Amino acid sequence: MKFGNPSDANSTDLNNYLIPKEQFVISYNCSRNLANWVSWTVDTSFLGDVERKNDFRPDPDVPCYQVTPRDYRKSGYDRGHIAPSADRDSNQEDNSATFLMSNMMPQSPSNNREVWRELETYERDIITKLGNEEVYIVAGPLGNIGTIGNGVTVPESTWKVILIVAHDSPTETIAVNMPNNESVKHTSWRDYLTTVDEIEALTGYDFFEELPDQIEEILESKVYQ
């Protein structure tokens, strides 16, 4: 978490429980059986071509009920990655970590397979095409429209904020908040662009707090073009 801990997650609050891993960092919410957010970094060192593991499984680091793949069975929702598999495909261990259920949220099929996935691809394209970028990402669920399985909260929307740090061009941010339903079918992730400030207002989190205040204020008020 180079640029800060958005919710001041810690090792005592079970609804804001910090789970640091080598591949990403999680703030977990035991009341929702769901992450509050996941934070990770992407640059060329994390990208490769190892085979997708697909080894969905409970996370032993979760201090409460450990969600299993069965909780999603016949729910109509995908086991949607928060930190995507393809952002950690330089080696099998890193890729496998993305299939921990603590890194999943119930996503509508069109959210997960279309707009969310398209933004994930765009993030990686920034890095692979230009080669000298580092991308810092925080993402998670928002709201509650019910539960599946053993009390796993279904979010109303899915949000993501991205900080693009380039070595030879201005730093930029991308922020989106996407409805978690089939209304997003055949739309573009760009249809859901907003500001980091707006995501902060919706979630109560403070993103990129380690940036200098003046730079943070400018970046977080802009809609990505």
Tokens linked to 207: 């993103």
Choose among 89, 119, 84: nearest CA to 193: 119
Q: What does each C-alpha distance from 60 to 137, 186, 207 come to in angstroms?
A: 24, 37, 27
Radius of gyration of the chain (CA): 16
Q: How far apart are CA 125 and CA 104, in angstroms?
A: 23
Catalytic residue selected from 21, 32, 79, 81: 81
Alpha helices (H) along the chain: 92-97, 109-110, 116-130, 196-203, 213-220
Instruction: Based on the residue annotation, tell me whether 81 is a catalytic residue of this protein.
Output: yes
Q: How far apart are CA 123 and CA 115, in angstroms?
A: 13
Look at residue 23 and give its three-state secondary structure: coil
CB of 109 within 8 A of CB of 78? yes
Indicate which residues carry an active-site annotation: 81
